[in-house]
Structure 1
């Protein structure tokens, strides 16, 4: 069982090895996976009643391929009462995405950028991201992180699942480390810095990872 409380206004990294439960946790938060026990409460109410406050950004994408980005944004505006068209257009320009080409003609990387533009334009207080960096080159990842930090409002909360711990260590406020579907680590990055520690070494200790393991191959 996972017992976790996340205050408003934090950028939280959901980290762990493959199969640790990161995607399961995020999909459970979104109501896309059933819980065997317990519940997920947001601002005192079940999450199912507050979908207009949550934005889910996934590598799988939720865009409609036959639409252009502008058509897709108009479609989203009908479902999300706080959708911000001006912000969506601003992000399209930031990522250099054409407004009036059908999304199905885009590369994989461009499609994922459309997903990010939409996710950050829904006016949601809670932004949940599952491996948003997959398929993106290093420059796109840098642009995305800069955009994410600069656009975050004081009352917004971000949960981000990723394997790229080196790139997000200076961005997140807090790291939640999962192992076998359970929380094995819960630490603020400032605490690690005060201990002259790194997120990578913190996770290695949790995983009981041995850096000299490769030497056994040469015996």
Structure 2
């Protein structure tokens, strides 16, 4: 279980902020972290990785801070965490030394499925190839917690759907996944729950099944959040 309490993160000389009063994510959920660009999605995931200092608050994984749970967390980011002068094969060897559960066979399969050359230096890859490598490495860590920050940016719609399909097929069902994206139409049938950020605040937190029972879509809720003038979290319409 992931728990966030009174998480407050600010930036010097900037009005940007992130504040989460309370957020609990049980084991096994697939949660979409949604919001417009600049809403705080990346800041939230980086904070959950223990990257950068917070003003105040606590983030824990089964009662432990991120720094004590690194071997159980995989962070897939658009920025990339790979070593550019290594080949994918050497990078896999490097990851296996640091992550005991790193699945070399699954990693090799993903490289093959994505048609990534295993013996070419990563710095020669295109942006799309680097993102596929990042996704392959993250999934192969077989982590309990998978944090994904815009993993499908830059791909065409068919590549995005293929990557999303591979991600879901690679899960065992016991992982907790947080997926940050603005491609809400493509993940609506994948996520169990949505947390919507707006200007650094959690403005909605709901389960997709409850949303559907009310005849709403993710687009409907995102529009309500964006157009609302209140600072209070979004509430379901009556009836």
The answer for the alignment partner of 1:177 in structure 2 is 196
Q: Distance in 2 between matches of 1:64 and 1:47?
A: 22
**TM-score, normalised to structure 2's length?**
0.85
1:87 to 96, 102, 106: 106
The answer for the alignment partner of 1:157 in structure 2 is 176
Is 1:69–1:102's contact at 8 Å kept on the other side of the alignment? yes
The answer for the alignment partner of 1:214 in structure 2 is none
Q: Unaligned stretches of 5+ in structure 2?
A: 1-18, 229-239
Matched, 1:65 2:84: yes
The answer for the alignment partner of 2:45 in structure 1 is 26
Q: Distance in 2 between matches of 1:177 and 1:36?
A: 22
**TM-score, normalised to structure 1's length?**
0.92
Per-residue deviation, residues 44-97 of structure 1 (Å, max 9, x unmatched): 111210100000010111111121111100011111111110010011111111
CA RMSD of aligned residues (A): 1.1
Q: SS in structure 2 opposite 1:78?
A: helix
The answer for the alignment partner of 1:125 in structure 2 is 144
Q: SS in structure 2 opposite 1:161?
A: strand
The answer for the alignment partner of 1:16 in structure 2 is 35
Q: Distance in 1 between matches of 2:171 and 2:75?
A: 15
Is 1:177–1:203's contact at 8 Å kept on the other side of the alignment? yes
Q: Distance in 2 between matches of 1:47 and 1:111?
A: 25
Paired residues, number: 209
The answer for the alignment partner of 1:7 in structure 2 is 26
Is 1:174–1:188's contact at 8 Å kept on the other side of the alignment? yes
Alignment of 1:26-45 (within 5 A): 26-45=45-64
Q: Distance in 1 between matches of 2:83 and 2:38?
A: 29
Q: Distance in 2 between matches of 1:52 and 1:18?
A: 30
Q: SS in structure 2 opposite 1:114?
A: helix
Q: Distance in 2 between matches of 1:67 and 1:177?
A: 37
Structure 1 position 33, deviation (Å):
2.1
Q: Unaligned stretches of 5+ in structure 1?
A: 210-219
Structure 1 position 41, deviation (Å):
1.0
Q: SS in structure 1 opposite 2:98?
A: coil
Q: Distance in 1 between matches of 2:127 and 2:64?
A: 37
Structure 1 position 154, deviation (Å):
2.1
